[in-house]
Amino acid sequence: MVVVVAAGVSYAVTTLLRRDTTPTVSRGPIAQPGQADGPQTAAQRAADSVVRILTGAVSSPTAGPSPSPVSSAGGTGTVVDARGFVLTAETLVAGAASITVVLPSGRTVPALVAGTDAEEGLALLKVEAGSLHALQFTGGAAMETGSGVAVMAAPPGFQMSVGAVAAAHNSINIADPSTPGQGRVLNDAVALDVSVRDGQLGAPILDGAGRLIGVVVASAPQVFGVDMTDAQPSVQQLIDSGHVSFPSLGFEYRQLTAAEAAARGVPAGVEVLTVAASSSAAGAGIAVGDLVLSANGTQLDPSHPLIRILRGLSVRQAVALSVKTAGGTRAVSVPLALVSP
């Protein structure tokens, strides 16, 4: 196994990249080569679970009744269940006419989308390839600013980028796979200070023990990932049933940055982007443009993301919100509803 990894894994400790969008940080606690847990250990433990994903022609986002096909670059996925379930980024496979997975053995097999989680930007694929080696995706620590990470891409040879979390708890815009030409907001995304490589979209983010702690959901020009601390319950639902259900307040939102909150004269909060018709939020008078400052007494700053608060509550449980509107700040109680996209 060590020989295979030594031959197949191109591993380099990269220089931290200085970008305007994310601060440069000291490298986190991922152990270095020669220690018990480190990039080489992560590579060895993950190599049998990381696959290359190729897609056929996808629909162009250009409006029109007969969109022209465009090519899609390959990406990476991770086997998360031995029965053939592969986790990757939703934008990599959305709308693809065909999906092919290249297994670590070199064998090529077709894949189908078993389910997606739009809130996390993830897709679960299913391949028929016998028993596969699954990578552990539970038990890892949450990624915080400064955490050491390794990203393992397969484009087609394994390529490891080692670095750190530049900034945790970001809201980012990605292409909306369900609405070509439109965007979607992903909340609580993690900005990574690692080198950008081909085929990195959908790649696993590993800790020093080789556990899956995140998935790359945007790869250029800045690498962003989703934290498995947030995504693990959804991934398990997708494996078990093929769909995701989660408690919702009935509105979509975007976490304010510190600069945006300061400019609006609020400590922190989330901006309401859309409100579902006939939802409990609409019934409580929450409107587009409102700022939700707290939930059940917890200030909604980037370190206390709303998604984590809601996923710790029960359906139909009332959530006490502090909402800043054009007319002032008011308190409302909104019961959670179960949403199954």
Tell me the pLDDT tens digit for each residue of 95-125: 899 999 999 999 999 999 999 998 899 999 9
* CA separation for the pair 16, 210 (Å, rounded): 21
pLDDT digits 0-9 by tens, 217-274:
998 889 999 999 889 988 999 999 998 888 889 999 999 888 888 888 888 899 999 9
Tokens coding 199: 């085929």
pLDDT digits 0-9 by tens, 288-336:
999 999 999 999 988 888 888 887 788 888 999 999 998 899 999 999 9
The domain limits of the chain are 1-59+69-243, 246-339
| Mean pLDDT taken over the chain | 82
CATH top class, domain 246-339: mainly beta
Domains 1-59+69-243 and 246-339 share a fold: no
Residue type (1 letter), 240: D
Flag whether pLDDT at 72 surpasses 80: no
For residue 193, list its beta bridge partners.
164
Least confident of 30-39, 183-192, 201-210, 265-274: 30-39
* Cβ contact 53:88 at 8 Å: yes
Flag whether pLDDT at 1 surpasses 60: no
Flag whether pLDDT at 30 surpasses 70: no
Give the per-residue pLDDT at 155: 75
Give the per-residue pLDDT at 295: 95
Element (H, E) at 211: none
The CATH architecture to which 1-59+69-243 belongs is Beta Barrel (2.40)
